[in-house]
Amino acid sequence: MAVSKFSDVDEYGFKREPDFDYQSYENIMSSYLSVLTTRSMRWQKFLKSADMLKNRSKLKRFVRKGVPGSLREEVWMKTSGAKELQQQQPNLYQTLLTYEYDQEISDQIKLDLPRTFPDNIHFEEYQVSLYNVLIAFAHHNRTVGYCQGLNYIAGLLLLVTKNEVSSFWLLKVLVEDIVPLYHTKTMDNLITDIDVLSELIRLRAPDVHRHIFDLGLPWPVIATKWFICLYAEVVPTETVLRIWDCLFLEGNKILLRVGLTVVVRLRQELLETDDISTLIGLFRALDKSNVLMDCHEFMKSIFKVPGNLRRSQLDAMRQRFYSERMASKSKVS
């Protein structure tokens, strides 16, 4: 992983902003590099020793400490269940690419190709692959088809795996199994999870929740892109990938942990904002935040700061907010 203060491009090919804080980055990376080296050796040994899926507790511990970049494709495919699904239909992706495509969806995807990671020096060479992955998925899942946000997810998958087939299967698992009904026209689960996140923040950081409410910034404005893009194009790239390491294994609860931790960790900065434009600016600059740049410490904190988030508790909250929203819709109609 590159740490040269002279490099204006990160290790994934993204150009750094002119105001990038190289000094803070080098301070963070000087310790993180040694962590990566140690973790890489332990992962190699872990993968050779046995079927990693059989030792769930050790796997979770390893994943939470980060998957080495060179192993991400293999680990993500296994932990997400994508590998098993692919083995059941090994020719699915190639078959989908032979289908007659929907012209409207094809045009929409083509429109978004140059908008996807324009600041990445490598991505132009992936645009054909990105089109293939997105059009194949649209053919496969007619309910979702294509929506903005999928281009960033599939694009980052391609940058990591450099493999169309793996990217397709990982995208399928994410959209259909890990965050179902996030990317449909009604976005039912996305809206519900934003309500859940808002409630968790109200319970854990009531002063911040009140402050944001008083300034008049609705949570959907803040968090829709967080969840639609699974934090891609929101936080620093290495931090996104560390989030995805956990997301593929532990599921969508990770997205709520991350959102809640962001707000709690940035509590003082958020409380110091005194108008809505400054508040929006702070949320839009998360990719420059030193708190989020230090991905290793941030990922440790998402399992400490929120405390115990039981799945049963989250499911009950989801059911309550969804039912309230449906009841409200019925009254209007």
Phi, then psi, of 275 in degrees rounded to 5:
-155, 165
Whole-number pLDDT of residue 274: 96
CA distance 104 to 174: 24
> What is the 3 state secondary structure string of the chain?
CCCCCCCCECCCCEECCCCCCHHHHHHHHHHHHHHHHHHHHHHHHHHHHCCHHHCHHHHHHHHHCCCCHHHHHHHHHHHHCHHHHHHHCCCHHHHHCCCCCCHHHHHHHHHHCCCCCCCECCHHHHHHHHHHHHHHHHHHCCCCCCCCCHHHHHHHHHHHHCCHHHHHHHHHHHHHHHCCCCCCCCCHHHHHHHHHHHHHHHHHCHHHHHHHHHHCCCHHHHHHHHHHCCCCCCCCHHHHHHHHHHHHHHCCHHHHHHHHHHHHHCHHHHHCCCCHHHHHHHHHCHHHCHHHHCHHHHHHHCCCCCCCCCHHHHHHHHHHHHHHHHHHHHHHC
Which residues in the chain are classed under CATH 1.10.8.270?
A: 55-178
* Confidence (pLDDT) at 333: 61
User: Over the stretch 27-53, which tens digit does the pLDDT of each residue have?
Assistant: 888 888 888 888 899 999 898 876 888
Q: Does domain 188-331 have CATH number 1.10.472.80?
A: yes
Residue 98: exposed, middle, or buried by beta-carbon count in 10 A (0-12, 13-18, 19+)?
Answer: exposed
Q: How is residue 243 written in tokens?
A: 């989030």
Phi-psi label, residue 68: left if phi above 0, alpha if psi -120 to 50, beta otherwise: beta
- pLDDT, position 19: 85
Average pLDDT over residues 281-285: 97
Question: What confidence score (pLDDT) does residue 3 get?
Answer: 45
Mean pLDDT of 284-305: 96
* Predicted pLDDT of residue 49: 76
Span of 33-47, 69-83, 145-159, 279-293 with lowest mean pLDDT: 33-47
Given a cut of 50, is residue 244 above it in pLDDT? yes
Q: Give me the pLDDT at residue 28, please.
A: 85
pLDDT score recorded for residue 20: 86
Encoding tokens for residue 40?
A: 């890489």
Longest dimension (CA), the chain: 60
Of 266 and 45, the one with more pLDDT? 266
What is residue 1's predicted lDDT score, i.e. its pLDDT? 44
- Pick the more confident residue, 5 or 91: 91
Q: 79, 72, 85, 1: which is closest to 36 by C-alpha?
A: 1
Q: What is the pLDDT of residue 72?
A: 96
Fold of 55-178: Helicase, Ruva Protein; domain 3 (1.10.8)
Residues of the chain with CATH 1.10.472.80: 188-331
For range 236-263, the mean pLDDT: 97
Residue 322 has pLDDT above 50, yes or no: yes
Q: Is 293 left (phi over 0), alpha (psi -120 to 50) or beta?
A: alpha
Please say if the pLDDT value at position 248 is more than 50.
yes
CB atoms within 10 A of CB 119: 11
What are residue 14's DSSP bridge partners?
120
pLDDT of residue 2 exceeding 80:
no
Q: What is the pLDDT, as a whole number, of residue 86?
A: 98
